[in-house]
Amino acid sequence: MRSIGILGTGAYLPPTEVTNEEIAVRAGVTDEWIVRKTGIRGRRRADPGQATSDLASAAGARALEQAGVGPGDLSYIVVATSTPDHPQPSTAAIVQDRLRAVNAAAFDLNAVCSGFVYALTVTDRMLSTEPGPRFGLVIGADIYSRILDPTDRRTAVLFGDGAGAVVLGPAPQGRGNFAASLLTRGDQHELICVPAGGSRTPATARSLDEGLQYFRMDGRRVREFVGDNVPKAVADLLTDAGLSPHEVGHVIAHQANAVLLREMWPAFGVPRATLHLTAESYGNTGAASVPITLDSAHRSGALGDGEVVLLTGFGGGMSVGTVLTRWLPTRHARSAAPPVGSTVSGRS
């Protein structure tokens, strides 16, 4: 099995900014409440004419440009999303057409907010076992603004729209992705859901009247799930990889809630690492949050050659995905202005 690494990153955030004040009125809360509960100060909204594939294509093109890989060189395009353009065809097929990646097999993957880490792991496994130098484009993209109940303060204040992407390809010895773990707790699938619109409860006039097309989340139990499972998944993967927690340099986590991440940070048990945050500026962007935050850290120059970067996503299903990669420099790390982010340092 050949080593596969991240050769380039890219992100796309829609230009329309939505402040806490705009969200707070309909949700029945205040800007102060949103910041205190979530740490989020703003988020982006897709324009009415934009679909998930539009955001995904823009992020993918930026990652390809940075990696110096042409669309025709791609063997795979995998789009992680739970807000696809249509129930069918796949959003990835539309992205393949937009990018003119005529040689790439394309498909979607839905593990909700864990989706990008799941897609990264699947694509890495495909590339590492196939002959010849091959490349894959992995994209996380979501437009949650289309499935939110604006009066539900538990969800309306959290989410933004966006996309992030990476190009995967051959990595030199000692660099690239070297460990991954995926976990699903299907017995808790009801904690996060969109009740209607699928085969169990098709969309009808009655389901629309009842608001069953909206995203729903049991916030308290989701927080408990994250606390019980994410730090343990990190510790178990480090043990399985034979890596000391002190060797982790950076953590790129799903940006579910900035307050939650700051509170949970000590439990990660990686005392010399830096936790990168974009939730304060962009909110929870679903499957896009990990690659957007990765792109922000990378383009700011924070990730050094050979440093260990831990990626972890968690979300509906309920699911957790974690990947360890040893960073390798890319061709144009500063080829575009990075998204806005901040850090929490555990370095000593």
The catalytic residues are 113, 254, 284
In contact, 168 and 294? CB cutoff 8 Å? no
Which tokens is 8 given?
Answer: 């380039």
Contact 279, 226 (CB under 8 A): no
- Considering just the CA atoms, what is the radius of gyration of the chain in Å? 19
Closest CA to 287 of 311, 262, 258: 311
The residue type of 44 is R
The answer to whether the CB of 154 falls within 8 A of the CB of 118 is no
Secondary structure of residue 293 in the 3-state scheme: helix
Question: Distance (Å, rounded) from C-alpha 138 to C-alpha 135?
Answer: 10
- Cα–chain-centroid distance for residue 42? 18
Identity of the residue numbered 234? V
Q: What is residue 183's three-state secondary structure? A: strand
Instruction: Identify the H or E element spanning 49.
Output: none
Going by C-alpha positions, the residue among 49, 44, 41 that lies closest to residue 12 is 44
* C-beta separation of 191 from 256 below 8 A: no
267 vs 81: CA distance, rounded Å: 28
44 contacts: CB under 8 Å, gap ≥ 6: 13, 14, 15, 16, 17, 18, 160, 161, 162, 282, 283
Question: Do the beta carbons of residue 78 and residue 138 sit within 8 Å?
Answer: yes
DSSP annotation string for 52-77: HHHHHHHHHHHHHHHHT--GGGEEEE
What is residue 338's DSSP assignment?
P
